[in-house]
């Protein structure tokens, strides 16, 4: 019987790294609730970018240089796809395709994404629970002055090279948290909830927008600690800072903290952003300034331990 | 405007080789009507083994040693699929998967298999028309003493290692010939119909069983020439001889000719089977004894030319 001690909320690369650090501390006690807003079907394959990055990272097979995809990946599938006239803007490695094909087959049979991901995690030797935020597809739609775009069109095909005016999560009103995610959040052993340094708009917001999930997180009783994905005014990876500016917010740790005000008890920033500490504190959060950049696997574990210690000092919510 | 001069009926390896020989003589004048009874969905991928073998062979990228699949294929997809707990009994190369994924996506969008295959053939630089026998799936079911089996379960997973008692083509009564196949058979320029040396039970029979297709072949007016896939009592490749014996027929060129009696005007056998010539002639067919084995690409063209010359000598049907 699994006793969840830690719940992490995560998107892709940065979230997966901190989740990996947490798994190195207590693999069996960790449940990661992962964004599925990026999920899409491409060339008939069911792709869940954030879940896959978490699976590959915790499974120890992620490409270390780029953070996503499989280490030592090969590209014969893509070469042939291009030769056959297929789309080439989304790069799918040969090993990666195996996961998408297997998942697609089971989804079309009517299986739940949660059950499929649990089997994949088991096959990769992952002891932590990798939990989709919902079994209902909730595709992120990016609003731009030129109209609405599916997320991967914006993110990969257009390389984020259009300004955003907003986001919506299509069908979110019909989505439900999974029993597994609610059970993890209801664990009597729960000691901390960690909001990983993922994009607040397109990684964490989708999770918090699943009806009932934000409430379950807030009511879990464990201290909630978030790690800023913005360091020194820039995103460690990805378009978070660009999005913040385009939406009229400060591209700063403080800007991220403002989005989490009312939910989060403690906020972790980098030393580079110490000047924001007072203003973040004024939002009603404790602040921990540390080295918020995870340079290697030891760095992941170090930051994870600091988050857990920070949560421990904050104590249980009432 | 395409003027079809030659229609070939083909299954996989042997059929593809003779079709390739015909294409070397008149690529634009050739239409190949291909068995789709082997088609199946595996790991969410839409696989059409015979069509793919014809595409790869006429496209010049087939694996020459094994006759199917792509030359220089790699297997990272299969390795990862096995690691993730997926089925490993059907080998899917990385390049091969690209074709299946692309086809699956378009089929699920509601496109016709014929249109998809036409685009794939175009992408591979094939000037001949590669025509599925029907756009309706007609899966071959193999009857055995242990019960019915889907074809690929019998053929690949069990390596034909169970006796067969019969075959049926599921849904054949609802299948229809495609407009493209009927147009090829109705071509005023048609000079020959060639039944390739494919398995009579599971490659040619499905084609002839599509309601209306056998009639269209018989009424086309062009001489119909078949090439025996059995040489010296053995199949050149595959389980045809084994099936013939299990079904109580002679595993011989004569046995194959008996199945085509009433449809075929001329029958091509190997010199090794000259002793069958008289009995085949008695079935109402002209007989050509030649070297029926295609050892290389020149051999394919040589046999193709002999078939066309043979048909030319037979003249138009009345």
Confirm if A214 and A224 have CB atoms less than 8 A apart. Answer: no
B120 at A interface, C-beta within 8 A: yes
Q: Taking a contact as any Cβ pair under 8 Å apart, which residues of chain A between 76 and 95 contact chain B?
A: 76-81, 83-86, 93-95
Residues 6+ apart with CB under 8 A from A219: none
Cross-chain Cβ contact A101/B97 below 8 Å: yes
Closest-CA residue in chain B for A92? B98
Closest CA to B222 of B2, B1, B6: B6
Say whether pLDDT at B258 is over 70: yes
Say whether pLDDT at B248 is over 90: yes
Predicted pLDDT at A237: 84
A109 at B interface, C-beta within 8 A: no
- Give me the helices (H) in chain B, please: 13-26, 49-58, 76-83, 94-108, 113-123, 151-152, 179-185, 205-209, 213-218, 240-246, 253-260, 277-282, 297-314
Which residues of chain B have a CB within 8 Å of the CB of A45? 44, 101
Q: Work out the pLDDT band at B1, boundaries 50, 70, 90.
A: low
Dist. CA A48–CA A102, nearest whole Å:
12
Return the domain boundaries, chain B.
Answer: 6-61+108-138+180-314
Query: For B113-158, how does the pLDDT look when each residue is reduced to its tens digit (9 = 90+)?
Result: 999 999 999 999 999 999 999 999 999 999 999 999 999 999 999 9
Q: What integer is the mean pLDDT of B154-173?
A: 94
Confirm if B7 and B33 have CB atoms less than 8 A apart. Answer: yes
Predicted pLDDT at A1: 54
Tell me the CATH architecture of domain B6-61+108-138+180-314. Answer: 3-Layer(aba) Sandwich (3.40)
Query: For B172-221, how does the pLDDT look when each residue is reduced to its tens digit (9 = 90+)?
Result: 999 999 999 999 999 999 999 999 999 999 999 999 999 999 999 999 99
Predicted pLDDT at A256: 97
A99 at B interface, C-beta within 8 A: yes
Min Cα–Cα distance to chain B from A75, Å: 8
Min Cα–Cα distance to chain B from A159, Å: 24
As averages over each run of 10 residues, the pLDDT of chain A (318 residues) reads: 90 94 98 97 96 97 88 96 95 97 97 98 98 97 95 91 95 97 97 97 97 97 97 88 93 96 97 97 97 96 98 83
Of B44, B70, B94, the CB nearest to A74: B94
Which residues of chain B have a CB within 8 Å of the CB of A101? 43-45, 77, 81, 86, 97, 101
Query: For B48-98, how does the pLDDT look when each residue is reduced to its tens digit (9 = 90+)?
Result: 999 999 999 999 999 988 878 999 999 999 999 999 999 999 999 999 999
Of B83, B97, B119, the CB nearest to A97: B97
Q: Taking a contact as any Cβ pair under 8 Å apart, which residues of chain A between 274 and 293 contact chain B?
A: none
Token readout for A55 is 């699976």
Dist. CA B318–CA B305, nearest whole Å:
23
Predicted pLDDT at A68: 81
In Å, how far are B103, B154, B194, B279 from A113, measured between CA atoms? 24, 31, 49, 62
Of B77, B104, B123, the CB nearest to A98: B77
Token readout for A174 is 């019909």
Q: Can you give the pTM of this predicted structure?
A: 0.93
Of A43, A76, A83, the CB nearest to B94: A76
Q: 3.40.50.10680, 3.30.2080.10, 3.40.50.11540, 2.40.420.20: which CATH number matches A6-38+134-314?
A: 3.40.50.10680
Predicted pLDDT at B318: 58
Which residues of chain B have a CB within 8 Å of the CB of A110? none
């Amino acid at each position: 019987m699994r006793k969840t001690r830690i719940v992490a909320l995560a998107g892709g690369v940065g979230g997966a790294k901190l989740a990996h650090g947490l798994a190195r501390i207590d693999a069996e006690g960790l449940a990661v609730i992962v964004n599925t807003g990026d999920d899409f079907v491409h060339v008939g394959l069911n792709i869940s970018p954030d879940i896959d990055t978490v699976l590959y990272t915790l499974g120890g097979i992620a490409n270390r240089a780029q953070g996503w995809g499989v280490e030592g990946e090969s590209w014969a599938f893509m070469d042939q796809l291009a030769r056959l006239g297929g789309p080439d803007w989304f790069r799918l490695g040969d090993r990666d395709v195996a996961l998408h094909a297997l998942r697609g087959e089971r989804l079309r049979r009517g299986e739940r994404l949660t059950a499929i991901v649990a089997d994949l995690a088991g096959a990769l030797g992952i002891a932590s629970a990798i939990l989709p935020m919902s079994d209902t597809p909730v595709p992120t739609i990016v609003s731009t002055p030129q109209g609405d775009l599916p997320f991967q069109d914006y993110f990969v095909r257009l390389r984020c090279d259009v300004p955003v005016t907003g986001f919506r999560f299509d069908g979110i009103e019909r989505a439900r948290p999974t029993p597994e995610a609610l059970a993890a959040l209801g664990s009597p052993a729960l000691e901390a909830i960690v909001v990983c340094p993922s994009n607040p708009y397109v990684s964490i917001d989708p999770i918090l927008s699943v009806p009932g999930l934000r409430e379950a997180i807030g009511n879990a009783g464990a201290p909630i600690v978030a790690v800023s994905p913005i360091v020194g005014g820039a995103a460690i990876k990805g378009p978070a800072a660009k999005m913040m500016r385009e939406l009229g917010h400060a591209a700063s740790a403080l800007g991220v903290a403002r989005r989490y005000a009312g939910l989060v008890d403690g906020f972790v920033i980098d030393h580079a952003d110490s000047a924001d500490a007072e203003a973040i504190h004024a939002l009603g959060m404790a602040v921990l300034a540390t080295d918020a950049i995870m340079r290697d696997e030891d760095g992941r574990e170090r930051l994870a331990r600091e988050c857990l210690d920070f949560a421990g000092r904050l104590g249980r919510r009432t």
